[in-house]
Structure 1
Amino acid sequence: MTTIHRVATTPIAGQKPGTSGLRKKTAVFMGPHYLENFVQAIFDVVQAKGRTFVLGGDGRYFNDRAAQVILRMAAANGALRVIVGQGAILSTPAASHLIRLNQTDGGIILSASHNPGGPKEDWGIKFNMANGGPAPEAVTETMYQHTLSLAEYHMLDAQDVDLGRIGRHDLGGMIVEVVDPVRDYAALMETLFDFPAIRALFRGGFRMRMDSMCAVTGPYGVEILENRLGAPKGTCVNATPLPDFGGMHPDPNPTWAKALMDEMMGPDAPDFGAASDGDGDRNMVVGRGIYVSPSDSLAVLAANAHLAPGYAKGLQGVARSMPTSAAADRVADALGIGKFETPTGWKFFGNLLDAGRATICGEESFGTGSDHVREKDGLWAILLWLNILAVRKQSVADILADHWASYGRNYYSRHDFEAIETARAEAMFTALRTSLADLPGREVEGMTIRAADDFA
């Protein structure tokens, strides 16, 4: 007979989720009661009794232990069923798809996205709603307020579930359903893209390099690109998820994916290069000898999405975050569809997607996605690029040149400041904000500033 313990606890300061859940150093989450307090707040707010959830993550250090804790707490809180990716592995877009496919009541994703993993690095957890998208601010704020008054959490006294074995397991009367983390997601991709055309592209000698940065998309890339689409073995590199991402910083940009950039700019570069991040929601695209900025990628995908079966009827609209260049706006205007600007954070695209007003969304931080799930989706963007390349039979460089000739070219710049002392960072942003009102109309290097805003 299993026993449920009501463990006494006290509130722990600082459990306020950000734009993508709660993220702290791994050691913080491993401290006494820290993970348990936050998970109990989730289950209390969403009223876990009788509900079904999805659970999985990016494979980073501590995910395996955290998954067992969450399962025991779910059972203790009366959950009916939890669908878990084998080995507690699920990319964020795959988790979003499983929530929607199985019509669950939400899901818990264990990831700190593109942040490094390991005992001394970062860890994260977030809750996604029944629509598959990140919990909105009203919900995360309620969870945070609940952490401030938490007095106990519920824990089932039970052995670990064998998450390596696909199938159904019983945990104190709750069903734990361990599933292949790739299968359903791969099947969804086959409904959206012209797999026969992409297979023909690879049969014709097309060369690609896919760098998963020892993170979660490795198994997805191998199954879809190599096994289903016929890309040569070895097309996918760094394809085994590791707890510390092999010491890599799994952020797909020219700085952290330097090996891929060097190969793509080299004398024997493949035709197409791509990289994805820790939890599989970001992507970087590179052509032979040419880098594709995230803002240009969004615009090109919007302009050519009709070439893929899943978008053959056209788009309802295109949405972008405020820091993203207006390149996608030009495409929307030309197509006569809606264009939208949102604050930073994928959750702000959710209402537009749910209302059917936007079909494709993107942000300059290497995130792109569509209404097929409610998260940005790195591999989706890579597959749409492959679909476009297969149909148009042009290089990445030629497609970009044609795009700029048709729509014009937008330039923008992003500046990252990492590990800056909080007071200095706040002072810099205060100075920037106070200068905004004086910028419109000012001339700089022969150009006039039209507008300056803060949409953070």
Structure 2
Amino acid sequence: MDYIQKYQSWVNYEALDSTLKTELLQMNDAQKEDAFYVDIEFGTGGIRGLMGAGTNRVNVYTIMRATLGFSRYILSLKRHKKVAISYDNRLNSSAFALRAAGVLAAQGIEVYITKNLRPTPYLSYMVRTNDCDGGIMITASHNPKAYNGYKVYDETGCQLVPRLADIVIQEIQTIEDYFQIPFDESSPLIHWVDEAFDQQYLEQVKTIQIEKLDKKPLKFVYSPLHGAGGPIVPNLLKSLGYDVYPVESQMVNDPNFGATASSNPEEKLAYEGALALAKQIQGDLVLVTDPDADRLGVMVKHQGKYHFLSGNQTASLTLYYVLSRKQAHGLLPKNGYVFTTNVTTPLIEKIAKSFDMTVETTLTGFKFIGEKAKAIEGSGVYVFGCEESYGSLISDFVRDKDAVQAVYMLCEMATFMAEKHQTLIDLLNTVYEQYGYFVEETLNLNLSGIEGKKRIESLMTYFRNNRLSIKNKEIVQIDDVLKQQTWRKTGVEPLNYPVSNVLKFYYRDGSWIVLRPSGTEPKLKIYMSVVGQTKAMAEETLENYKLTVQGLLGQI
């Protein structure tokens, strides 16, 4: 069926949601093609896309189709037939969550669904504590407000890895009729999870404490960016005696993100409201979580100015603090594991190995870290896992990124440093002096729609056939994850990663560049990491890399 036929089938469906029907009738031909040329796909984070009418959009019908496919997967497991569901503040999130619950219930599956928005790690914990077979989180994470999405979890509270996601995808692809999917939103199989569960989750979060701090003089400014951290994070910090100042205008559950210019902690625009409050009250730390509260962004007051920390820097600081303080208390496990990704700063591996931790590297996507955490059960001890994109996990009582844990540890860390009359910037400089000045940056080439997808494919093909050469920098290794092979001068070897369209170029001086099409956004992500004897030398090298890459992209 071509896109015109798909479009007509939706327009002709008499019971179609009236808002979607109006949208369809106003589409031009290009919009029709973009909305119907494919069925929306699972990427590295499940389904994520623009909300609206069409098979290539997130709407109640694509949510129902995905849920019916997921329910068939759950039933095939022949286990408990139970699924947990939660959602963030986005437009339609609560309605999509309830409809997903209704579809599952109609298939005889028991559902535990939160009464109100709650964080992604909270959902992961619900899966584990309720002995569920899986979970669903309705969220588009840090994407702009026009997006929504659908993350799917296994029985360990980990997002489905590709081999399991493929089974769900196969089930979904057999469902051709979007409009005849049964659901029962009033089923007795649907159980509502209320605020009483908050304390159970927060008590687990508190177990990550390392230092018992009597004095807590610092002022912490916090914003959930209108999202799911709002009902959880301030209560946690206040219960621990921290002096927390929520950004009240951004504490409101608002799908339009009315009081913030960005929902993404990776963008400095997201900090405007929190930074204004911090300057007003002379706050010491600014903490910003994304809408589903799995990512944390940080700004630190140091010598009278506020400094923005990257995800790599925050993860490196957290790992160094956790390992050094546990070592000081004799709490470091002998068989400890630290997990990182192939686009995260090499500083993570250097720090971990200096404390005799075993380091395992995997692809971007916390599901791969969750999978490795499961694999070491009984033989190793999970210590830390992180990604460069502002996500980490300190204790794996959940199996996804947890910004609630991250907030807790940043507050403890900053307070511990304050006792020494130092800030987190002082600690970061100590880490750099000990391990080297690592500097990273990610270039995002935004390419939406059909033409954008073609452009991304052509760029990846070009660099797969033509090395990414930097003047005066010798390439010593190339990882082609799609082909699952590593090239070195000594020959080609197998690469033990899941198949993914990723290229990584290594240079002799320890720097590298990675090209990776985003699995959740219409963009090509280009990650760069360099190391220098001084910060200035590292930054100069990085600038050279950026100019070279940007020049190449302009020529191809």
Query: What range describes the TM-score normalised by the shorter chain of this pair?
Result: 0.7 to 0.9
Equivalent in 272, 293, 307 of residue 285 of structure 2: 272
1:324 maps to: 344
Residue 64 of structure 2 aligns to a residue in which SS?
helix
Equivalent in 192, 199, 204 of residue 208 of structure 2: 192
Counterparts of 2:414 and 2:235 in 1: how far apart (Å)? 20
Counterparts of 1:266 and 1:179 in 2: how far apart (Å)? 36
2:138 maps to: 110
Counterparts of 2:289 and 2:60 in 1: how far apart (Å)? 33
Equivalent in 17, 30, 34 of residue 42 of structure 2: 17
Instruction: Work out whether 1:428 is the aligned partner of 2:428.
Output: no
1:27 maps to: 52
Structure number with greater CO (CA < 8 Å, separation at least 6) is 1
Counterparts of 1:451 and 1:403 in 2: how far apart (Å)? 18
1:4 maps to: none
Instruction: Work out whether 1:41 is the aligned partner of 2:69.
Output: yes
* Aligned-residue CA RMSD (Å): 3.1
Counterparts of 1:59 and 1:44 in 2: how far apart (Å)? 28
- Evaluate the alpha carbon distance shift between residue 241 and residue 22 of structure 1 in structure 2; reply closer, same or farther with a 3 A threshold: same
Equivalent in 60, 70, 90 of residue 90 of structure 2: 60
Question: Which blocks of at least 5 consecutive residues in structure 2 are unaligned?
Answer: 1-14, 16-35, 476-506, 517-556
Instruction: Work out whether 1:301 is the aligned partner of 2:318.
Output: yes
Counterparts of 2:107 and 2:37 in 1: how far apart (Å)? 21
1:408 maps to: 436
Q: C-alpha offsets along residues 121-159 of structure 1, whole Å, 9 cap, x if unaligned?
A: 111112100110001111211222222222566524555
Counterparts of 1:111 and 1:66 in 2: how far apart (Å)? 10
- Evaluate the alpha carbon distance shift between residue 418 and residue 151 of structure 1 in structure 2; reply closer, same or farther with a 3 A threshold: closer
Q: What TM-score results when the alignment is normalised by the length of structure 2? A: 0.69
Identity across matched positions, percent: 19
Counterparts of 1:338 and 1:157 in 2: how far apart (Å)? 48
Cα displacement (A) at 1:195: 8.5
5 Å-filtered alignment, 1:333-372, equals: 333-356=353-376, 357=380, 358-370=382-394, 371-372=396-397
Instruction: Work out whether 1:78 is the aligned partner of 2:98.
Output: no
Cα displacement (A) at 1:251: 0.8
- Evaluate the alpha carbon distance shift between residue 287 and residue 158 of structure 1 in structure 2; reply closer, same or farther with a 3 A threshold: closer
Q: Amino acid of the residue matched to residue 102 of structure 1?
A: N
Cα displacement (A) at 1:61: 0.8
Counterparts of 1:451 and 1:398 in 2: how far apart (Å)? 25
Counterparts of 1:377 and 1:67 in 2: how far apart (Å)? 21
5 Å-filtered alignment, 1:156-305, equals: 156-157=183-184, 159=186, 171=187, 173-180=188-195, 182-193=198-209, 197=213, 200-202=214-216, 204=217, 206-234=218-246, 238-246=250-258, 248=260, 249-259=262-272, 262-263=275-276, 269-288=282-301, 289-305=306-322
Residue 301 of structure 1 aligns to a residue in which SS?
helix
5 Å-filtered alignment, 1:140-155, equals: 140-150=165-175, 154-155=181-182
2:473 maps to: 442
Instruction: Work out whether 1:389 is the aligned partner of 2:414.
Output: yes
Residue 391 of structure 1 aligns to a residue in which SS?
helix
- Evaluate the alpha carbon distance shift between residue 60 and residue 387 of structure 1 in structure 2; reply closer, same or farther with a 3 A threshold: same
Cα displacement (A) at 1:347: 1.1
- Evaluate the alpha carbon distance shift between residue 233 and residue 450 of structure 1 in structure 2; reply closer, same or farther with a 3 A threshold: closer
Equivalent in 100, 103, 125 of residue 97 of structure 1: 125
Cα displacement (A) at 1:355: 2.7
Cα displacement (A) at 1:96: 0.6
Cα displacement (A) at 1:238: 1.5
Aligned residues of 1:439 and 1:451 also touching (Cα < 8 A)? no
Cα displacement (A) at 1:361: 1.2
Counterparts of 1:93 and 1:325 in 2: how far apart (Å)? 24
Aligned residues of 1:213 and 1:276 also touching (Cα < 8 A)? yes
Counterparts of 2:265 and 2:192 in 1: how far apart (Å)? 32
Q: Amino acid of the residue matched to residue 216 of structure 1?
A: A
Cα displacement (A) at 1:183: 2.5
Q: Amino acid of the residue matched to residue 427 of structure 1?
A: S
Cα displacement (A) at 1:265: 9.1
Cα displacement (A) at 1:292: 2.0
Counterparts of 2:358 and 2:341 in 1: how far apart (Å)? 14
Between 1:387-396 and 1:321-330, the stretch displaced more is 387-396
Cα displacement (A) at 1:365: 1.1
Aligned residues of 1:281 and 1:377 also touching (Cα < 8 A)? yes
Counterparts of 1:236 and 1:338 in 2: how far apart (Å)? 43
Q: What TM-score results when the alignment is normalised by the length of structure 1? A: 0.83
Cα displacement (A) at 1:231: 2.0
Counterparts of 2:70 and 2:227 in 1: how far apart (Å)? 26
- Evaluate the alpha carbon distance shift between residue 207 and residue 145 of structure 1 in structure 2; reply closer, same or farther with a 3 A threshold: same
Q: Amino acid of the residue matched to residue 268 of structure 2?
A: T
Q: Amino acid of the residue matched to residue 367 of structure 1?
A: G
